[in-house]
Amino acid sequence: MASQEPKPSDAELVRAVRAGDREAYGRLADRYLASVYAAAIRITCNAAAAEDVAQDTFLRAYQRLDLYDMKHPFRNWLLKIATNLALNQLRSRRRERLLHERVAADEMRNGHSPVAEAAPPSRSQWQQWLGQLDESQRAAIVLFHFHEMPYAEIAQVLEMPLNTVRTLLHRGRRRLREIMGSPPMLENGSWNVAIQNG
């Protein structure tokens, strides 16, 4: 991902953007879009949500570039923003779903047959696996295993102590192992589980 633009370093590009060069930001975005999008879709388990998260991440990072501390890798800074946005997405989707369920329950009680929900988009195997973890377990696993983020930075993103991150990872992996060992989920059950109540 970072191999496409070997010449200027992240720090040089950041300095150029800070000096008013918008094109330099485009190069940074090209460099890290794949990482940011991958983290977003793995945490949200939803392609449309992940696109929103990726777009908001780059817009927000551009607007707040002054807050970026050059001592840390630029990619990790973007991933932190993306993770927070993805977790926010999940929370607002959960609220919408609860509301939807309440409306559906009311309709059932009033004798209406609930309107059939649009079928969830078909999901790949990894989405079904990750979708069954709870949100913070999933975020910790995604950042640590797929984006090589160190514990300390994950702890910062998730706003929890380092040891809690470690516990989250261990529990998440144990849960993944159970999920992988169990028969594949029903297609329609998988979506609801993806947006966990926890």
Partner 1 sequence: MECRDTERLIDAYLDRELPAETASKLEAHLSACQPCRRQYGSLVGFLTKPEPIAVPAGLAERIAAAIESPEALTADRDVRLFEAGVSENGRHARHALNAAGLAREDDSAKAHVPGWHGQARRPKAGGFARGADRAALHRWLPWAVAAAACLAFFLIGWFSSRVSQKPEQQIAVNSDTSSAPDAPEPIIVSPLVLASWAQAVAMGGPAIPLVPVVQAAATEAAVAASFERPLLPSPRQPTSREVPPPVMELPQELLIIPHVSRALGV
Q: How far apart are the first and last CA of the chain?
A: 34
- Judged by CB under 8 A, does residue 33 bind partner 1? yes
* Choices 7-15, 33-41, 104-112, 152-160 (CB under 8 A): range interacting with partner 1: 33-41
* Choices 8-16, 103-111, 114-122, 169-177 (CB under 8 A): range interacting with partner 1: 169-177
- Judged by CB under 8 A, does residue 89 bind partner 1? yes
In this chain, which of 11, 72, 92, 117 binds partner 1, going by CB under 8 A? Answer: 92
* Choices 34-42, 70-78, 114-122, 185-193 (CB under 8 A): range interacting with partner 1: 34-42
Closest approach, Cβ 186 to partner 1, in A, equals 20
In this chain, which of 14, 37, 83, 136 binds partner 1, going by CB under 8 A? Answer: 37
Closest approach, Cβ 116 to partner 1, in A, equals 23
**Which residues in the 100-129 window bind partner 1 by CB under 8 A?**
124, 126, 129
Q: What is d(CA 115, CA 49) in angstroms, rounded to the nearest whole number?
A: 23
